[in-house]
Chain A
Amino acid sequence: MNFKDDFSMLNKDLVYLDNGATTFKPSCVIEAMNDYYENYTANAHRGDYDISLKVDIAYEGVRDKVQQFINARHREEIIFTSGATEALNMIVSGFFEHVLEPGDEVIISEAEHASNVLPWFRLANKKGIVIKYVPLDEHLHVTLDAIRKTVSPRTKVIALAEITNVVGDVRPIKDICAYAHSRDIFVVCDGSQSVPHKVTDVQDNDVDFLAFSAHKMCGPTGVGVLYGRMELLEELEPVNFGGGMNESFDNENAIFLKELPARLEAGTPNIAGVIGLGAAIDYLIKVGLDNIYYHEITLKKYLVEKLATIKHIDIINEECDSGILAFNVDGIFPQDVAIYLSKYNVCVRAGNHCAKILKKSVGVRNTIRISLYFYNTKEEIDCLVELLKDRDKIMKEMI
């Protein structure tokens, strides 16, 4: 496939290697959203007129697409949110805040993104739950064995990203779920970096909750998905109350809520965004999730081989099966490297990648991160590597 025909952003003389932050959008996604705005703007779940019905069909059709995309049992298990962050906050505030007791333990890792850390911190401060960190192995990976050793009789939740945004390791979520469920422990999965890159099957891996964002999978910003097993979502208390989620209310303060999924989608949803997500899913299916994953791994291997020959480059996470690579240039602050690369239109991320507590384990607070997607090419890697070869050149040109 020639992706340049599909993405106008791929024709801007940029080498974009920050797909962990967000991804480019193919024209079919932009057109689908424009089509809604230009040809059938109306609210969803409202009118009795034709274009409103068309909106309903489009919006609810995406729910079916997402259901199939992650192989959920029921379409009602798919809740549209503003992104993974909102989804994770809903899971913690709407479900676990009511289920957990003081002293109950939640296991996370030091490599988690802030959105899978801070909601739990809040709950720890508010309810006295205890946060435990599963130790990372020498490659900074989470293993089932380490999970087993961290679990105690008080453990109630394991909350992990399937793929971390800094280290890029793929966690054995299916095995973790099997073990956790044998001990009545819930598993919350942050799918932000995994759902866009590999096949996700929530029936096969058996996670209890899953969160992901559309913009990291060729979709628009401002929309994401909360998946939860039906019987758990039934217990999830809405965080937002308002239109579209109530059956009726009276002046005695009584509220009668709608069934799932409407109950958890108060207010006018991001209709255009959801429609864009649907187009993005169609596009990813056309490219093929297996092809996407294979391409990223192959390209990552190529990148590692090339970078390994450069003496002044320290690779932080050579051993991982995803398209994420973190490294540092010896003696140069990562941000300076990123600014140097930016002068050649190469976009990389420098920083702690929202995983501020990882420092303890890695020993460095900040890194340069490359995160690949299916539209990246060997030529782009060659360009990056060429720019990194000469340390003196970086020093000279970074300011």
Chain B
Amino acid sequence: MDANLKREIMLDNYQNPANRGKPVDENYISVNSNNSSCIDNIDLWVLIKDDVIHDIKFMGEACAISTASTSIMTKELIGKSLDDVKKIIENFYNMIEEREYEKELFSEAIVFDEIYKQANRKTCATLPYKGILDAIKIYENNKKA
């Protein structure tokens, strides 16, 4: 993908993020994701039922990369089963860390395929995914209990 197009998609998601807001429904699992090395700070609310992510909402103060990545992530993960979500997240980390990954798993998230060139922004792109993994852990622990 052309660098300008990537930038446009990121900017569009930064300025008009999808799924921004705080749900009133108490069934959402709430997690906070922040980077110790910078000032990004995102609250995520994840609605998981029957091992499927039904909805994600987010709020917080974060940079363009983090915000865009969160917006794009919500669009890509809502409606997916936890197994699919885990696979997508694993491949997203692989992409960010310059390892082999399955391209076809992503739509817009592919805009971050060269973010490794800016080492200090890798954690910005992965920030929301870290939060989703935490939420899944909470869901699975609750299920066991």
Residues 3-36 of B contacting A (Cβ, < 8 Å) = 7, 10-11, 14
- Roughly how many angstroms separate A339 CA and B14 CA in the complex, as a whole number? 16
User: Across the interface, which residues of B come within 8 angstroms of A350, CB to CB?
Assistant: 39
Assess the A335–B40 pair: CB atoms within 8 A.
yes
Assess the A335–B38 pair: CB atoms within 8 A.
yes
Cβ of B65 < 8 Å from any Cβ of A? yes
Assess the A399–B39 pair: CB atoms within 8 A.
no
Cβ of A352 < 8 Å from any Cβ of B? yes
How many of chain B's residues touch chain A, expressed as a range? 10 to 19
Chain A, Cβ-Cβ closest to B61: A365
Assess the B39–A336 pair: CB atoms within 8 A.
no
Cβ of A244 < 8 Å from any Cβ of B? no
Cβ of B64 < 8 Å from any Cβ of A? yes
Assess the A333–B62 pair: CB atoms within 8 A.
yes
A399 touching B65 in the complex, CB below 8 Å, given contacts A335-B39, A350-B39, A351-B39: yes
Give which listed residue, A339, A366, A399, contacts B7 with CB less than 8 A: A399
Assess the A396–B39 pair: CB atoms within 8 A.
no
Chain A, Cβ-Cβ closest to B115: A399
How many of chain A's residues touch chain B, expressed as a range? 10 to 19
Chain B, Cβ-Cβ closest to A332: B64
- Roughly how many angstroms separate A29 CA and B11 CA in the complex, as a whole number? 46
A338 shortest CB reach to chain B, Å: 9
Give which listed residue, B14, B39, B63, B118, contacts A352 with CB less than 8 A: B39
- Roughly how many angstroms separate A399 CA and B3 CA in the complex, as a whole number? 10
Assess the A398–B39 pair: CB atoms within 8 A.
no
Cβ of A395 < 8 Å from any Cβ of B? yes
Cβ of A334 < 8 Å from any Cβ of B? yes
Assess the A333–B7 pair: CB atoms within 8 A.
no
Assess the B38–A333 pair: CB atoms within 8 A.
no
User: Across the interface, which residues of B come within 8 angstroms of A335, CB to CB?
Assistant: 38-40, 63
User: Across the interface, which residues of B come within 8 angstroms of A336, CB to CB?
Assistant: 63-64
User: Across the interface, which residues of B come within 8 angstroms of A333, CB to CB?
Assistant: 61-64, 67
Cβ of B54 < 8 Å from any Cβ of A? no
User: Across the interface, which residues of A come within 8 angstroms of B39, CB to CB?
Assistant: 334-335, 350-352, 365-366
> What mask results when residues 117 to 147 of chain A are scored 1 for a CB within 8 Å of chain B, else 0?
0000000000000000000000000000000
A339 touching B121 in the complex, CB below 8 Å, given contacts A333-B61, A333-B62: yes
Residues 33-63 of B contacting A (Cβ, < 8 Å) = 38-41, 61-63
A399 touching B61 in the complex, CB below 8 Å, given contacts A350-B39, A352-B39: no
User: Across the interface, which residues of A come within 8 angstroms of B63, CB to CB?
Assistant: 333, 335-336, 339
User: Which of A334, A335, A398 gathers most chain B CB within 10 Å?
Assistant: A335
Q: Which residues of A contact B (CB under 8 A)?
A: 332-336, 339, 350-352, 365-366, 395-396, 398-399
Known pairs A332-B64, A335-B39. 6 more at Cβ < 8 A? A336-B63, A339-B63, A365-B61, A395-B11, A399-B14, A399-B65
A-B contact pairs, 19 of them (CB 8 A): A333-B62, A334-B39, A335-B38, A335-B63, A336-B63, A336-B64, A339-B63, A339-B118, A339-B120, A339-B121, A365-B39, A365-B41, A366-B39, A395-B11, A396-B7, A398-B64, A399-B7, A399-B11, A399-B64
